[in-house]
């Protein structure tokens, strides 16, 4: 029943994240330790699911979550019953941010200790240059969207059919590779 608190959020996640947190939610539903504060536990989980790394074993994350909710019971309850929470649910992050920090710290330590496989690590990349379409909402600004598409297509045609983002990433990697070779010419 309490799992309903996070169902909508799970539906909007990528498959790996949804699977990981769905399994955690199923285990929490069966865990007798949350009997008296299930709403609180699932509310915290809902607030942090998008930011938490997926490297901890499900059992370990559950134990950390329950320990956090028990230690921060009063401040979590105060945040949930604050009228501010109704208008701005993100206000809960004032309390749950510490949990995100805690899990990231544990994950980094496990990585440093070699307990997380490199293949399991997720890589976040930032790309440059941005496409004009990255900054325009097609539903709110259809004319600006059409203009952005036109600019992107024009840029692509002028540059041999190479996508603007691919081109920028290649240039950045070339610069980094050249810089590292200058720093260590023996490589």
Contacts of 96 (CB under 8 A, 6+ apart): 44, 47, 48, 76
CB-based contact 61:103 (threshold 8 Å) = yes
Compute the Cα dihedral for 48, 53, 58, 60 and give only its sign. Answer: negative
Spell out the per-residue pLDDT of the chain, length 187, in tens: 566 777 788 788 888 888 898 899 989 989 999 988 888 988 898 888 888 888 889 999 999 999 999 999 999 999 989 998 888 888 888 999 999 999 999 998 988 888 877 665 555 554 555 666 666 777 778 888 788 888 878 877 887 776 656 555 445 455 555 555 555 555 5
Tokens found for residue 73: 């019971």
CA angle 92–95–97, rounded 5-degree value: 95
Per-domain residue ranges of the chain: 4-118, 132-183
Calpha distance 150→43 (Å, rounded):
44
């Amino acid at each position: 029943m309490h799992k309903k608190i996070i169902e909508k959020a799970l539906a909007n996640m990528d498959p790996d994240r949804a699977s990981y947190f769905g399994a955690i939610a199923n285990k929490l539903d069966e865990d007798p330790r949350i009997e008296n504060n299930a709403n609180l536990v699932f509310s915290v989980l809902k607030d942090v699911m998008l930011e938490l790394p997926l490297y901890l074993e499900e059992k370990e994350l559950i134990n950390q979550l329950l320990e956090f909710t028990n230690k921060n019971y009063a401040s979590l309850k105060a945040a949930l019953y604050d009228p501010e929470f109704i208008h701005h649910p993100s206000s809960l992050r004032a309390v749950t941010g510490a949990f995100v920090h805690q899990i990231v710290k544990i994950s980094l330590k496990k990585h440093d200790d070699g307990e997380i496989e490199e293949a399991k690590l997720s890589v976040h990349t930032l790309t440059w240059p941005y496409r004009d379409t990255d900054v325009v909402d097609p539903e709110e600004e259809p004319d600006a969207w059409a203009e952005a598409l036109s600019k992107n297509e024009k840029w692509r045609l002028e540059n041999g059919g190479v996508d603007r983002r691919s081109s920028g990433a290649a240039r950045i990697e070339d610069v980094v590779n050249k810089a590292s070779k200058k720093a260590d010419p023996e490589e």
